[in-house]
Amino acid sequence: MATVEVSLKDVMTSVEGALGAAVVDYSSGMALGTLGGGKDLDLTVAAAGNTDVIRAKVRTMELLGLSGQIEDILITLESQYHLIRLVTGRSGNGLFLYLVLDKSRSNLAMARHQLKRVEEQLEV
Query: What pLDDT, on the 0 to 100 scale, is given for residue 94?
Result: 86
Q: What is the DSSP letter of 66?
A: -
Tens of each residue's pLDDT in the chain, 124 residues: 689 999 999 999 999 999 999 999 988 999 999 999 988 899 999 999 999 999 999 899 999 999 888 899 999 999 999 999 999 866 667 899 999 999 999 999 999 999 999 998 888 7
Report the C-alpha gap between 11 and 17 in whole angstroms: 11
Query: What pLDDT, on the 0 to 100 scale, is given for residue 123?
Result: 84
Query: What pLDDT, on the 0 to 100 scale, is given for residue 90?
Result: 62
Report the C-alpha gap between 100 and 37 in whole angstroms: 8
Indicate the pairing of strand 72-76 with strand 30-36: unpaired
